[in-house]
A and B are shown apart, each in its own frame.
Chain A
Amino acid sequence: MRDGANTDADVYLKDQEITDDALAADSEIAMKLKQFYTSLEDEAIPEKLVELLDRLDQVETAMALASNHSRGNSH
């Protein structure tokens, strides 16, 4: 036994064949995981998030205009 590595909770699994197969091997868990996640992705984006992006956009545009304007004045 090598330095009790198997008892460590955060052990590195060096056997790639086992870990790379970790999700492919159990189709049911892999499938459920995707189904769970897809059901979340399918939800409509809340209005407040879309509005936030629009607001950020507007602020940026306004600031860009303001800085162009002040640059224009300095000439």
Chain B
Amino acid sequence: MTENEINFKSELLATLRTLRAFAVSLCGTHDKADDLVQDTIVKAWAKQTSYEPGTNMKAWLFTILRNEFYSQMRKRGREVQDSDNYFTDSLAIHPAQYGSLDLKDFKKALDILPADQREAIILVGASGFSYEEAAEICDCAIGTIKSRVSRARTSLQQVLDIKGESDYGPDAASASATLRSFSS
């Protein structure tokens, strides 16, 4: 095995946990997510000559996984995200460690979001990608990602009824945008 091949496998292994977390966020169920990760690994392995060592392996894998997810969705002709009872079953007994929300409620709120908003807020807010990287992964403009993240945040806030953030709510935001466009 060449050095590149060894690096490829170890880099892939190092990315597996975050890749799988993204898959669960997209699919909603652990079973489907694991199948998706499996398909992604096979695809990535077959395409490994197109990966340039030293470039962003994580973004490369996320892109493959996301493309695979949507192509499978198209084949099945369905858009609705499934949801397993993982969080309901395994985490409901734990008290919320931070803040007043527990993860079970948060997962439910995430599931309500349209798929494009959910992936945008996960990529930027949890997977650690910049807006620019997220835009590349989702094959859209940065402005689109920013808009999706912003709308996802607003929806989550409304669904979860988070208090004390009215200053950052959509009314305040759009009001200041409107004022600015008038003043310029």
A, B bound: yes
A contact set with B: CB distance below 8 Å: 2, 6, 10-16, 18-23, 25-26, 28-37, 39-43, 45-46, 48-50, 52-53, 56-57, 60-61, 64
Report the number of A-B residue pairs with Cβ-Cβ less than 8 Å.
131
With A23-B124, A23-B125, A23-B149 as contacts: A29 and B162 at CB distance below 8 Å? yes
A-B contact pairs, 9 of them (CB 8 A): A13-B177, A15-B177, A19-B149, A22-B153, A23-B149, A28-B100, A29-B160, A37-B127, A53-B9
Separation of A18 and B97 alpha carbons in the complex (Å)? 29
Give B23's nearest chain A residue, CB to CB: A40
With A12-B147, A52-B41 as contacts: A39 and B103 at CB distance below 8 Å? yes
Interface 0/1 of B144-161, CB less than 8 Å to A: 101111100100110010
B residues in contact with A30, CB < 8 Å = 125
Contact present for B41 and A13 (CB under 8 Å): no
Contacts of B13-49 to chain A: CB distance below 8 A = 13, 16-18, 20-21, 24-25, 34, 37-38, 41-42, 45
A residues in contact with B34, CB < 8 Å = 46, 48-49
Separation of A13 and B59 alpha carbons in the complex (Å)? 24
Give A34's nearest chain B residue, CB to CB: B126
Contact present for B101 and A32 (CB under 8 Å): yes
Contact present for B176 and A26 (CB under 8 Å): no
B contact set with A: CB distance below 8 Å: 1, 5, 9, 12-13, 16-18, 20-21, 24-25, 34, 37-38, 41-42, 45, 91, 97-101, 103, 106-107, 110, 121-122, 124-127, 131, 141, 143-144, 146-150, 153, 156-157, 160, 162, 165, 168, 173-174, 176-177, 180-181
A residues in contact with B41, CB < 8 Å = 49, 52-53, 56
With A25-B165, A56-B42 as contacts: A15 and B180 at CB distance below 8 Å? yes
Tell me which of B122, B131, B144, B168 contacts A26 (CB under 8 A).
B168
Give B124's nearest chain A residue, CB to CB: A23
Tell me which of A12, A21, A37, A45 contacts B122 (CB under 8 A).
A37
Contact present for B126 and A18 (CB under 8 Å): no
B residues in contact with A40, CB < 8 Å = 20-21, 24-25
